[in-house]
Amino acid sequence: MQLQIECSSYSEYCLCYLCQQYFQRKEVSVILCDDQGKNYGEVCTHCIAKGYTWMQNQFQQLNYQIKLSINRETNKPIKV
């Protein structure tokens, strides 16, 4: 897991990838990426405040749940 920091020139509401709560974007956005640099979404200040270890555990748990998702049409696991 990697954190990418980007400047934001506008303020809007975004959905936090980790806690699924809406938050108002500030001047700087923190973007959650995997080790290959794939962007998963923004992270709110409440999740950032919980620390890197907590965020990494949440990220791994969410990705594990995605891997276990079942394709409803074929009833087979989705390969991620």
pTM: 0.74
pLDDT of residue 76: 60
- Per DSSP, 33 falls in state E
Residue 57 maps to a domain: yes
Residue 36: CB atoms within 10 Å: 6
Residue 73 maps to a domain: no
CB 26 within 8 A of CB 47: no
pLDDT by residue, tens only, the chain of 80 residues: 889 899 877 778 999 999 999 999 888 899 999 888 889 999 999 999 999 999 999 998 887 776 666 555 555 655 54
> 49: domain range?
2-67
Count the domains in the chain: 1
